[in-house]
Amino acid sequence: MNSFASSLIDVFIGLGSNLAMPTSQILSARDAIIAHNDISECAFSSLYHSSPMGPQDQPDYVNAVLCAQTHLTALQLLQFLQDIEHAQGRIRKEQRWGARTLDLDILLYGNETIDLPELIVPHLGITERAFVLYPLNEIAPNINIPSKGHIAELIKRCPLAGLKKLSTHASS
């Protein structure tokens, strides 16, 4: 991975929330992301309702996917997204898949494959998560996910699992 991104990189960011008015959390995060001088939005999916992964004793999630272009390196983008999570009340806990005000994940960073302790891209589990694949397919139906395959083929192997579209056009 390059430490400096000199040209614009297409990135896909997964957004999820199941606490403190999840729809508002998602839309506020979208606004914060695209307010960055080095990030420009290309597309934003509909909002989707999904059951939680892991412990079921938590509220359902609202999810979306944002496509943007940036000059930021993957690690700079990760830090920026974690700053937004923190500003919106995210408390990182040892328990995985717990309730959270906001979860921002770098799903794809250009065509790069990144394997660092703090960041793995394509995002782990991207091919098994309907709440990622279906919104991603909505805004990038021709995308190939590095070392995973074409989105159309991945969707065929990923059941909806209760995923429901909430809105066709999310506005900020």
Residues noted as catalytic: 90, 100, 103, 105
CA distances to 1, 95, 115 from 23, rounded to whole Å, are 34, 23, 31
CA distances to 12, 25, 91, 92, 99 from 19, rounded to whole Å, are 23, 8, 12, 14, 7
CA distances to 30, 49, 52, 130, 164 from 161, rounded to whole Å, are 25, 11, 11, 7, 9
**108-144 burial by CB neighbour count: b if 16+ within 10 A, else e?**
bbbeeebeeeebebbbeebbebbbbbbbbbbbbeebe
Beta strands 9-17 and 47-50 are: unpaired
